[in-house]
């Protein structure tokens, strides 16, 4: 297993400088934005798609530093009821699939998207309850008329390019937990197996989900494609008073029920060791990619501390034979 980095935290730095930082910290892989919400500060997508020589040089620059490319990321909302946003994010997705294929990587990370509540809507509507009954009508529309037809078509495109779409289960979008991920995977036809998880535990803790149980199920299902390392701290007293459905600003650290933290500052290194062990148990031995979104630390300090925690937790060597038992 390798430690990686999702690079938007250094979006203001040239790619070569980012790679210097990555190399100096002992990080072994990068995940790069290719449009939509992350932008593409370190990938000239059109140039790379049009120029095989540029792709060779790009991969060679990584290779000279013994850094691999774990995924391309196009986190967006191609189901957005605003047609311009939907089209922009759809284009980023399609180009991301093509670029991942051209670069020889299998993981394209992103969100499932979230439609509006009817065809004339202008904003997405994330439904969080089953009553009054009209909310269930909204879900019927979002899934059966928008999401399933769209992603069935995109699954064909993924299969044609031998790329997997690794969905980050994220509140605010129709796929936010195991049930909704597996529903989409199983509802999109014979190519639905191209849809799986970019597993990020930070979005699960505050929903009351046990990430260890969730990642185990997805691993057994064959739907675990990529992993993010980001931590969450739940403030016990605030959570007891108000629960965890919190719409306060992410900068309102004192009053929020939970905040994102650097790895090790929401859960101990012992938890991360257990997480890595479950990943190994279900056969995941790819990259665990750090995503820094800690408002209490600078990007560099947060990244450095996350790397330190993960270096203690990550299992890097292949297990040998069990000398103490036959099997």
pLDDT (mean) for 115-123: 98
Q: Identify the pLDDT of residue 285.
A: 96
Cβ count near 289 (within 10 Å): 27
Instruction: Kindly state whether residue 252 falls inside one of the protein's structural domains.
Output: no
Closest CA to 263 of 180, 201, 176: 201
Judged against a pLDDT cut of 90, whether residue 204 lies above it is answered with yes
Q: What is the pLDDT of residues 161-187, one digit of tens each?
A: 999 999 999 999 999 999 999 999 999
Structure tokens at 207: 């929903």
DSSP bridge pairs for 75 = none
Helix, strand, coil percentages, rounded to 5, for the chain: 45, 15, 40
In a domain, 258, yes or no: no
pLDDT at residue 327 in the model: 83
Determine if the peptide bond prior to 159 is cis (ω within 30°): no
Does residue 254 fall inside a structural domain? Answer: no
Domain annotation covers residue 301? yes
| pLDDT at 308 > cutoff 90 | yes
Give a yes or no: residue 251 inside a domain.
no
Domain contains 306: yes
pLDDT confidence band for 326 (50 / 70 / 90): confident
Percent of all residues in the chain with a pLDDT value above 90, rounded to a whole number: 97
- The reported pLDDT for the residue numbered 57 is 97
| Mean pLDDT value of segment 257-266 | 98
pTM of the predicted model as reported, rounded to 2 decimal places: 0.97
Identify the band that residue 320 occupies on the pLDDT scale cut at 50, 70 and 90. Answer: confident
Q: What is the mean pLDDT of residues 266-280?
A: 99
Q: Is residue 301 over pLDDT 90?
A: yes
Handedness of CA 321, 322, 324, 325 (dihedral sign): negative
**Segment 16-34, tens digit of pLDDT:** 999 999 999 999 999 999 9
- The answer to whether residue 259 is domain-embedded is no
Domain that holds residue 106: 2-230+264-313
CA-closest candidate to residue 22, choices 5, 8, 41: 5
- Inter-CA distances, 116 with 46, 94, 127, 141, Å: 30, 22, 10, 9
Mean of pLDDT values over 105-130: 98
* Distance of alpha carbon 128 from alpha carbon 208, whole angstroms: 14
The pLDDT confidence band at residue 245, using thresholds 50, 70 and 90, is very high
Place of tokens 């297990």: 319
Whole-number average pLDDT of the chain: 98
Model pLDDT, residue 316: 94
Residue 267 has pLDDT above 90, yes or no: yes
CATH code of 155's domain:
3.20.20.150
Count Cβ atoms below 10 Å from residue 21 Cβ, excluding itself: 18
Query: Is 133 a domain residue?
Result: yes
Can you tell me which residue has the tokens 């499932």?
A: 112
Task: Work out the burial of residue 59: count CB atoms within 10 Å of its CB; fewer than 13 is exposed, 13-18 middle, 19 or more buried.
Answer: middle
Name residue, tokens 């014979």. Answer: 190
Number of domains, the chain: 1
pLDDT digits (tens, 9 = 90+) for 65-84: 999 999 999 999 999 999 99
């Amino acid at each position: 297993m390798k430690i990686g980095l999702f690079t938007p935290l250094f979006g203001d730095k040239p790619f070569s400088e980012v790679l210097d930082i990555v190399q100096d910290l002992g990080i072994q892989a990068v995940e790069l934005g290719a449009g939509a919400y992350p932008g593409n500060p370190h990938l000239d997508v059109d140039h790379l798609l049009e120029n095989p020589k540029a792709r060779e040089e790009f991969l060679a620059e990584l290779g000279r530093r013994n850094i691999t490319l774990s995924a391309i990321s196009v986190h967006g909302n191609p189901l957005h009821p605003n047609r311009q946003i939907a089209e922009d994010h759809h284009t980023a997705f399609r180009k991301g699939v093509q670029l991942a294929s051209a670069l020889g990587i299998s993981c394209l990370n992103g969100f499932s998207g979230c439609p509006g509540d009817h065809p004339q809507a202008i904003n997405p509507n994330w439904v969080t309850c089953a009553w009054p009954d009209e909310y269930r009508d909204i879900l019927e529309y979002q899934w059966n008329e928008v999401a399933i037809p769209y992603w069935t078509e995109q699954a064909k495109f993924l299969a044609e390019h031998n790329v997997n779409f690794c969905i980050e289960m994220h509140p605010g979008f129709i796929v936010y937990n195991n049930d909704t991920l597996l529903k989409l995977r199983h509802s999109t036809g014979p190519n639905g197996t191209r849809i799986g998880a970019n597993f990020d535990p930070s979005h699960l803790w505050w929903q009351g989900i046990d990430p260890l149980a969730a990642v185990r199920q997805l691993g057994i299902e064959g739907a675990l494609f990529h992993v993010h390392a980001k931590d969450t701290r739940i403030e016990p007293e605030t959570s007891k008073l108000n629960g965890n459905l919190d719409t306060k600003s992410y900068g309102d650290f004192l009053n929020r029920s939970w905040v994102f933290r650097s790895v090790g500052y929401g859960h101990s290194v012992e938890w991360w060791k257990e997480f890595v062990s479950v990943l190994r148990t279900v056969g995941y031995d790819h990259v665990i990619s750090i995503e820094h979104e800690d408002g209490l630390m600078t990007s560099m300090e947060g990244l450095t501390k996350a790397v330190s925690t993960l270096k203690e937790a990550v299992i890097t060597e292949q297990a040998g034979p069990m000398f103490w038992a036959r099997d």
